[in-house]
């Protein structure tokens, strides 16, 4: 009857088997259901280009723990999965491949073709990363898999954009972008890197003029720059307002000799730093972020762009037009020198920004972009109908701040709400356009040159537009506000209505789009920032803007689990979008987990090459081991360091990763054992077909693997002893003390674990489970059960308790270690399908849908726990004595215990356990017990035990040991007495603390007395 189990748990077999089983049974599928309460989590969608790394493993394990736990609690649990199109990263990957494989740029294929290729790429990599998440055991509802670019999300994006446009929250503005002149595209900050580069540092001077149009004063003003060519686009010279050297020059002007433009000398405390350079700085708003900011503060100076997209100088550069910017630099320097205005050049090392893709220097470049207004809205009125009340008052940022301030959204740990609030408080407008082809195309059509053509043509066009606006008022918004002020002049000198129109079309109105195009509108070529679609994730995945039953049932979701680096980019924006679109926060809780750092305390990243591939860990230690460790290290405070080793692919030696292996691009390590080279492993291996790649390992995961195996073997022990198992009720009051003890501990543990999970204390929860399983159930209860399993009378009961407790352990551990739990559960179901805990009945057909345990508070029995604890103390102490005097376990020891009558009764009742656990032969106990000659003494507050050791003690050595011990005790006693003689301690400390100290003194005195009497005896013996 006994089902045979292998001696060791085989994670691989279990993983494959149960993933299939769970999937077939649709345990993780959820539909709205009126009888149950929902519990919803949306996954932070991983990037489709990415491979799973440790951060994903941590993030998704924690979500899975929560969702599995709530599912067991009877909630209708939905974990919505999906992936993110991640505009820049994904397009960059495909473009890079295009360049490598076919030596083409995206301009060589066309927009449609590039997008088609990216979709192909996406399908392939989405499959991979979703497969990896499944391997992790994530219990997502895979039937609901979403993608931020799929039709459902696209519709939500269009609807949101349309509404915001209508409400006047989306506007057109200028912004400096990182311009890659080689690829002629803008690149995101995280697609650039900064490298120290040798550069010149030139100093020039301008002649100062008395004021606009006035003549030269004869004075010169000196300034330095690393980019002399930008001088052509300067619109001011700036000094610090309190800089005495230049105060008198403020308001005067200079003329840039090379372009003959007169520009003012202005004061700006934020831009100019008197301690740097000459203290005077040229201002080039179109080509420097700081200067741009300065021009925002001083709009009168203006902005002049001098660059073409290819990095050559444009018509604003006068005679330098057409020159490459570096050629122009040389020319400018030479010309200034010829004019006698060149003061000198130094060589300097400066940090220069490069494009990661073309490896060429970035140029800051001013361009037209779309923005979302975050700050206060202009006074109500105007064209915006303001259909959505939340945005009406303080603007989007304010609205999202309030959701956290008034507790609708709570952060765990709470301190992270500071990052959220601080960032939103800046109310910086959000630039949402990206010069890419992969993403949601901006749904705005532009008519640039409405005023071109004959008067009749213009009239016809404008008339047609007017018709469209009236006819399609519901789905078409035309914004003219931007250019209202700039009246255009028609070909015949007449004043026209604004010459540029921006039309935004609601989703699902393709016919309107075509009609717009027919009268000369062209769709904006840019796409939206990825976060624009990500921010809609909690409601777009549920079907919004349709009023779906899913949206009504699952929204708002319960908790968002993420890492702290996207609190601003993502969390804050989701709150904004949720409130704006649905009128409700997207989630009630935000749990921010720690980060996993490498062995040297640094964050893991692709560029550092210091990641760990979770699949290697799964391969070597099992998924449950990985998950156990992820949960175990999720404490509230610390990020965790994770030292890692490479497993040499030639000889299987573990080669610890050293810091020098990480320095950017170390791609080769030599095995210290077999001296052969290999490539270090990780989630981001470089392409290098020449070398075999190592797998990764880290002994941090031993504990997890060992625990899975421990569970397995505890189950194995039970199954070997379940012959004749009969289900039946368990009533603690009828059970022997050890049973009542383990049930008491189980009830305590279960309550604690539930509470810990409710507070997102993952690490503490798994600690409790681990401790209970290993140190109480396995180490003590299973050992104590062995006698009764052999005994006809007790066997039935103890089997039921063993099965019941194991059942509960499996339920508790399932959220964290589902595979081993299911393996054991299924085996147990074959032998003991009907169990007695927590309720009598047939066990569920899978542990993943089993009920979360909960036990009567009455089972918690402090008196019983104390009695077993006393026995454990005795056993531990006898073991210690045995160890100290090197007594074989096979040699029974005789023990006498002096203790109260009731304690003696307990000890006698527990004698079989004391005998088997500590190898005790005869046990005498009672108040009158005396110390036999030549015995070791165990002193405990409740008893004193003597272990007979005739002939086994070396009196001389023992005297030394006891003297040392005595000295320590005396010292401690003195310290405690001193504390008690301190009047303020006795006065001010709580009574129980004082009493503790008093009890402690008594205890110490007893111990000292015992040691002294033992010493006396031993000294006597030593003399003989």
Partner RNA sequence: GAUCCCGUGGUCCAGCGGCAACGACGGCCGGUUUACACCCGGGCAACGAUGGUUCGAGUCCAUCCGGGAUCACCA
Q: Which of residues 801-860 bind RNA (CB under 7 A)?
A: none
Closest separation in Å from C-beta 500 to RNA: 30
Phi, psi of 818 (to 5 degrees): -70, -30
Residue 853-892 contact track with RNA, rule CB under 7 A, x = bound:
-----------------------x--xx--xx-x-xxx--
Residue 198 three-state SS = strand
Residue of 397, 402, 760 whose CA lies nearest to 589: 760
Stretch that binds RNA, among 76-84, 659-667, 776-784, 826-834 (CB under 7 A): 776-784
Residue 917-956 contact track with RNA, rule CB under 7 A, x = bound:
----------------------------------------
- Alpha carbon dihedral 993, 998, 1001, 1006, in 10-degree steps, equals -120
Tokens of 906: 């307990």
What are the start-end ranges of the H helices in 780-886? Answer: 783-789, 792-813, 818-831, 862-884
What's the first-to-final CA gap in the chain, in angstroms?
A: 63
Return the residues of window 571-600 that contact RNA according to CB under 7 A. 595, 597, 599
Return the residues of window 711-730 that contact RNA according to CB under 7 A. 713-714, 716-717, 720
- Alpha carbon dihedral 845, 850, 851, 857, in 10-degree steps, equals 100
Q: Is 774 in the site for RNA (CB under 7 A)?
A: yes
Q: Is 259 in the site for RNA (CB under 7 A)?
A: no
- Beta strands (DSSP E) in 373-427 are 410-412
944-967 burial, b at 16+ Cβ within 10 Å, e below that, comes to bbbbbbeebbebeebbeebeeebe
Closest separation in Å from C-beta 162 to RNA: 29
Q: Is 264 in the site for RNA (CB under 7 A)?
A: no
Closest to RNA by CB, 33 vs 565, is 565
Closest to RNA by CB, 643 vs 796, is 643
Q: Is 638 in the site for RNA (CB under 7 A)?
A: yes
Closest separation in Å from C-beta 922 to RNA: 18
Q: Report the C-alpha gap between 148 and 99 in whole angstroms.
A: 26
Tokens of 23: 């999937």
Residue 315 three-state SS = helix
Residues 6+ apart with CB under 8 A from 460: none
Stretch that binds RNA, among 104-112, 297-305, 700-708, 793-801 (CB under 7 A): 700-708
Closest to RNA by CB, 184 vs 640, is 640
Neighbours of 657 (CB within 10 A): 24
Residue 365: beta bridge partners?
A: 177
Q: Report the C-alpha gap between 515 and 502 in whole angstroms.
A: 14
Stretch that binds RNA, among 75-83, 472-480, 612-620, 638-646 (CB under 7 A): 638-646
Closest separation in Å from C-beta 665 to RNA: 18
Residues 6+ apart with CB under 8 A from 238: 265, 266, 267, 268, 271, 272, 280, 281, 282, 283, 294
Closest separation in Å from C-beta 220 to RNA: 16
Closest to RNA by CB, 78 vs 254, is 254
Stretch that binds RNA, among 224-232, 497-505, 519-527, 1010-1018 (CB under 7 A): 224-232
Query: Which of 212, 603, 728, 912 touches RNA (CB under 7 A)?
Result: 603
Stretch that binds RNA, among 217-225, 306-314, 474-482, 495-503 (CB under 7 A): 217-225
Closest separation in Å from C-beta 345 to RNA: 11
Neighbours of 871 (CB within 10 A): 24
Stretch that binds RNA, among 151-159, 369-377, 524-532, 628-636 (CB under 7 A): 628-636
Query: Which of 28, 39, 75, 223 touches RNA (CB under 7 A)?
Result: 223
Provide the phi-psi class of 919: left if phi over 0, else alpha when psi is between -120 and 50, else beta. left
Closest separation in Å from C-beta 12 to RNA: 11
- Do 703 and 824 contact (CB within 8 A), yes or no? no
Query: Which of 115, 617, 708, 938 touches RNA (CB under 7 A)?
Result: 708
Residue of 893, 935, 898 whose CA lies nearest to 914: 893
Return the residues of window 512-551 that contact RNA according to CB under 7 A. none
Stretch that binds RNA, among 6-14, 325-333, 531-539, 836-844 (CB under 7 A): 6-14
Return the residues of window 977-996 that contact RNA according to CB under 7 A. 982, 984-985, 988-990, 993, 996
- Do 508 and 471 contact (CB within 8 A), yes or no? no
Q: Report the C-alpha gap between 843 and 377 in whole angstroms.
A: 59
Query: Which of 21, 142, 171, 201 touches RNA (CB under 7 A)?
Result: 201
Closest to RNA by CB, 299 vs 351, is 351
Tokens of 30: 């959820």
Query: Which of 192, 548, 703, 854 touches RNA (CB under 7 A)?
Result: 703
- Strands 522-523 and 444-447, how do they pair? antiparallel
Closest separation in Å from C-beta 246 to RNA: 11
- Sign of the Cα pseudo-torsion (101, 107, 110, 115, in order): positive
Q: Is 565 in the site for RNA (CB under 7 A)?
A: yes
Query: Which of 47, 224, 533, 846 touches RNA (CB under 7 A)?
Result: 224
Q: Is 795 in the site for RNA (CB under 7 A)?
A: no
Q: Is 217 in the site for RNA (CB under 7 A)?
A: no
Neighbours of 463 (CB within 10 A): 11
Closest separation in Å from C-beta 810 to RNA: 14
Q: Report the C-alpha gap between 162 and 504 in whole angstroms.
A: 6
- Do 496 and 489 contact (CB within 8 A), yes or no? yes
Angle of CA points 775, 781, 782, to nearest 5°: 100
Closest to RNA by CB, 390 vs 704, is 704
Query: Which of 100, 273, 652, 830 touches RNA (CB under 7 A)?
Result: 273
Closest to RNA by CB, 193 vs 491, is 193
Q: Report the C-alpha gap between 766 and 753 in whole angstroms.
A: 8
DSSP 459: H
Residue 412: beta bridge partners?
A: 591
Stretch that binds RNA, among 162-170, 543-551, 553-561, 971-979 (CB under 7 A): 971-979
Query: Which of 215, 275, 406, 1023 touches RNA (CB under 7 A)?
Result: 275
Residues 6+ apart with CB under 8 A from 719: 2, 3, 5, 827, 828, 831
Return the residues of window 150-189 that contact RNA according to CB under 7 A. 189
Query: Which of 469, 584, 710, 908 touches RNA (CB under 7 A)?
Result: 710
- Quote the distance between the C-alpha of residue 686 and its chain's center: 25
Q: Report the C-alpha gap between 583 and 767 in whole angstroms.
A: 40
Q: For RNA, how many residues bind (rule: CB under 7 A)?
A: 96
Closest separation in Å from C-beta 971 to RNA: 6
Neighbours of 242 (CB within 10 A): 10
Q: Is 969 in the site for RNA (CB under 7 A)?
A: yes
Q: Is 4 in the site for RNA (CB under 7 A)?
A: no
State the DSSP H helix or E strand holding residue 367, giving kind and residue range, or none if neither.
strand 362-372
Return the residues of window 996-1015 that contact RNA according to CB under 7 A. 996, 999-1000
Q: Is 439 in the site for RNA (CB under 7 A)?
A: no
Q: Is 12 in the site for RNA (CB under 7 A)?
A: no
Stretch that binds RNA, among 84-92, 314-322, 783-791, 900-908 (CB under 7 A): 783-791
Closest separation in Å from C-beta 276 to RNA: 2
Return the residues of window 235-254 that contact RNA according to CB under 7 A. 238
Q: Is 972 in the site for RNA (CB under 7 A)?
A: yes
Return the residues of window 385-424 that contact RNA according to CB under 7 A. 415, 418-419, 422
């Amino acid at each position: 009857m006994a089902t045979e189990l292998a001696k060791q748990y085989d994670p691989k077999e279990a993983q494959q088997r149960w993933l299939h089983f769970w999937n077939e049974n649709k345990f993780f599928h959820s539909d709205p259901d009126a009888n149950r309460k929902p519990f919803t989590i949306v996954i932070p969608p991983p990037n489709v280009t990415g491979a799973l790394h440790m951060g994903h493993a941590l993030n998704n394990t924690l979500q899975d723990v929560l969702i599995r736990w709530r599912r067991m609690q009877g909630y209708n649990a939905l974990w919505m999965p999906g992936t993110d199109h991640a505009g820049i990263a994904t397009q960059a990957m495909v473009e890079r491949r295009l360049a490598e494989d076919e030596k083409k740029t995206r301009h060589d294929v066309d927009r449609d073709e590039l997008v088609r290729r990216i979709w192909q790429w996406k399908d392939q990599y989405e499959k991979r990363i979703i497969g990896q998440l499944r391997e992790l055991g994530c219990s997502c509802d895979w039937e609901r898999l979403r993608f931020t670019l799929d039709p459902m999300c696209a519709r939500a994006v269009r609807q949101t954009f349309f509404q915001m446009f209508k409400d006047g929250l989306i506007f057109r503005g200028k912004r400096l972008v990182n311009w890659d002149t080689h690829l002629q595209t803008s690149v995101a900050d995280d697609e650039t890197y900064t490298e120290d580069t040798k550069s010149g540092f030139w100093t020039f001077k301008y002649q100062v003029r008395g004021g606009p149009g006035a003549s030269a004063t004869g004075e010169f003003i000196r300034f330095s720059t690393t980019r002399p060519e930008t001088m052509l686009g300067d619109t001011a010279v700036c000094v610090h307002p309190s800089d005495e050297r230049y105060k008198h020059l403020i308001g005067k002007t200079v003329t840039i000799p090379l372009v003959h433009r007169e520009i003012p000398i202005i004061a700006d405390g934020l831009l100019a730093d008197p301690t740097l350079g000459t203290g005077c700085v040229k201002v080039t708003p179109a080509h420097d972020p700081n200067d741009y900011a300065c021009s925002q503060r001083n709009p009168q100076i203006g902005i002049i762009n001098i660059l073409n997209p290819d990095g050559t100088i444009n018509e604003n550069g006068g005679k330098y037009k057409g020159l490459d910017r570096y050629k122009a630099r040389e020319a400018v320097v030479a010309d200034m020198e010829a004019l006698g205005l060149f003061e000198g050049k130094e060589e300097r090392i400066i940090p220069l920004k490069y494009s990661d893709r073309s490896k060429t220097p970035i140029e800051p470049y001013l361009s037209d972009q779309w923005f979302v207004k975050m700050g206060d809205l202009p006074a109500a009125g105007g064209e915006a109908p303001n259909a959505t009340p939340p945005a009406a008052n303080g603007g989007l940022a304010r609205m999202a701040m309030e959701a956290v301030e008034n507790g609708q959204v709570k952060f765990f740990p709470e301190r992270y709400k500071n990052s959220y609030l601080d960032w939103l408080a800046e109310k910086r407008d959000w630039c949402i356009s990206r010069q890419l082809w992969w993403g949601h195309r901006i749904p705005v059509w532009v008519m640039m040159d409405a005023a071109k053509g004959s008067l009749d043509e213009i009239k016809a066009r404008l008339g047609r537009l007017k018709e469209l606006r009236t006819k399609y008022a519901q789905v078409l918004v035309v914004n003219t506000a931007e250019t209202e002020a700039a009246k255009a002049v028609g070909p015949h000198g007449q004043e026209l209505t604004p010459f540029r129109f921006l039309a935004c079309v609601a989703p699902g109105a393709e016919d309107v789009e075509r009609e717009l195009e027919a009268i000369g509108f062209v769709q904006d070529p840019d796409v939206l920032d990825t976060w624009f679609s990500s921010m809609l994730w909690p409601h777009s995945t549920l079907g919004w803007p349709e009023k779906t039953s899913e949206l009504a049932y699952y929204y708002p979701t319960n908790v968002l689990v993420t890492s702290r680096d996207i609190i601003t980019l993502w969390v804050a924006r989701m709150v904004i979008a949720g409130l704006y679109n649905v009128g409700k926060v997207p989630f009630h809780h935000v749990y921010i987990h720690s980060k996993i750092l490498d062995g040297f305390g640094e964050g893991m990243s692709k560029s550092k090459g210091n990641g760990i591939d979770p699949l290697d860990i799964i391969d070597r230690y099992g998924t449950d081991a990985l998950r156990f460790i992820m949960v175990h290290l999720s404490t509230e405070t610390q990020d965790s360091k994770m030292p890692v080793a490479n497993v040499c692919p030639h000889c299987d030696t573990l080669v610890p990763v050293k810091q020098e292996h990480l320095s950017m691009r170390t791609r080769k390590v030599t095995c210290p054992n077999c001296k052969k080279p290999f490539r270090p492993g990780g989630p981001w291996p470089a392409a290098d077909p020449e070398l075999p790649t190592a797998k990764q390992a880290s002994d941090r995961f031993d504990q997890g693997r060992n625990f899975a195996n421990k569970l397995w073997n505890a189950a194995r022990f039970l199954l070997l002893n379940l012959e004749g198992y009969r289900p039946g009720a368990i009533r603690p009051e009828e059970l022997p003390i050890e049973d009542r003890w383990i049930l008491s501990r189980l009830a305590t543990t279960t309550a604690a674990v539930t509470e810990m999970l409710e507070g997102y204390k993952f690490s503490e929860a798994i600690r409790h489970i681990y401790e209970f399983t290993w140190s109480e159930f396995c180490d003590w209860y299973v050992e104590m059960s062995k006698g009764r399993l052999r005994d006809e009378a007790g066997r039935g009961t103890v089997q039921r308790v063993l099965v019941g407790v194991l059942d509960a352990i499996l339920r508790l551990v399932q959220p964290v270690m589902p595979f081993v739990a299911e393996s054991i559960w299924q085996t147990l179901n074959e032998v003991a399908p009907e169990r007695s805990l927590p309720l009598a009945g047939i066990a569920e057909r899978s542990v993943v849908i089993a009920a979360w345990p909960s036990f009567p508070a009455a089972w918690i029995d402090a008196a019983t726990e104390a009695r077993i604890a006393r026995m454990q103390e005795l056993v531990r102490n006898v073991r210690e004595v045995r160890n100290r005097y090197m007594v074989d376990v096979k040699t029974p020891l005789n023990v006498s215990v002096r203790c109260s009558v009731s304690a003696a009764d307990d000890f006698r009742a527990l004698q079989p356990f004391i005998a088997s656990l500590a190898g005790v032969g005869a046990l005498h106990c009672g108040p009158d017990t005396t110390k036999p000659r030549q015995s070791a003494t165990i002193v405990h507050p409740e008893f004193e035990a003597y272990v007979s050791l005739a002939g086994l003690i070396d009196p001389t050595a023992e005297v030394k040991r006891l003297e040392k011990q005595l000295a320590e005790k005396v010292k401690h006693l003195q310290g405690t007495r001193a504390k008690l003689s301190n009047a303020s301690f006795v006065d001010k400390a709580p009574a129980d603390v004082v009493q503790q100290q008093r009890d402690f003194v008594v205890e110490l005195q007893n111990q000292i007395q015992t040691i002294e009497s033992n010493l006396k005896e031993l000294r006597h013996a030593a003399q003989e």
